Amino acid sequence: MRVLGIDPGSETLGWGVVEGGGLKYSLVDCGVVKSSPKQPFSKRLLNIYNGVAEVVERFSPDVVSIEEAFYSANVSVAMKLGQVRGMVLLLAEQNSLDIAEYSPRLIKQTVVGYGGAEKQQVQEMVKLLLKMQKRPDPHDIADALATAICHFHHAGMLQRIKEQVGRKK
């Protein structure tokens, strides 16, 4: 299975491609899609769409794993992130990709062991889990990779549950 993890952002969107099966996985590639805050928001959305579409075309993932929306004190920021997420979800649907959504707290809990982990802790654990030479930077990349890693852990659990339910019928 090949998973594209996404950390949505309107100025910096992190992405990471991880492949494997069960709890064994490895890094394929990672990066960011940058947009200028000086551009109109619609132009940033187009830039993000094109950037993520290029990643999907280049790496042919099976699943897009994306952070769920979180509550923000700044309604404007929350709305923009929601629009970025919606655009990524649309792109995944257009490419017939499976979609998995995880809360930031669950992602941190899965990868670090603590749902309130700091950015540096996530970066360090992602480095260790993917056997990287250095911590992924910026943190948007680490968050995207953590989202992909989270999917491997939870998708495996869901698969085992489905298999158990199938045996009991």
Active site residues: 7, 67, 140
Tell me the C-alpha distance between 67 and 88, whole Å.
11
Greatest alpha-carbon span in the chain: 58
Q: How far is it, in rounded angstroms, from Cα 85 to Cα 64?
A: 11
Backbone CA torsion sign across 36, 132, 15, 114: negative
Burial of 141 (0-12, 13-18, 19+ CB in 10 A): buried
Q: What is the dihedral of CA 132, 32, 62, 2, to 10 degrees?
A: -10
| Interhelix angle 119-129/104-111, nearest 10 degrees | 50
Neighbours of 30 (CB within 10 A): 22
